[in-house]
Amino acid sequence: MDRSRFIEHLKNYPHLYEFEEKNDNGFSGILVKDKEYSTITFFTEQVIQEKELVELLKQTHHGKNVEWISRVTGYFSKINSWNKGKKEEFKDRYRVSEVDTGITG
């Protein structure tokens, strides 16, 4: 990926990213703060050149971009779209396993 294109993308989304050019342990690169996931990632010049834009941006998530899904009465629903009350109710739920019910196969 072209370094200037990466910087341009970060500039176009100031509500999502902060960045600064930096030298770290003898490596020059770009330090990116992902505001949505509260992470900081250092990209060396070599990594920026080798990877595509989407791949670089995914690295800033640090695995925090997980969506929780629940199945209630046969329907799947993303938890992050639920209202506050439904999310609190979800925290109070418990799982029942075959061992708990005494059901054996």
pLDDT tens-place string over residues 4-60? 999 999 999 999 999 999 998 889 999 999 999 999 999 999 999 999 999 999 999
* One-letter amino acid for residue 28 of the chain: S
pLDDT at 38: 94
Query: What 8-state DSSP symbol labels residue 51?
Result: S
Q: For 73-105, what is each residue's pLDDT tens digit?
A: 677 778 878 888 888 888 777 666 655 555 555
Report which DSSP code applies to 81.
Answer: G
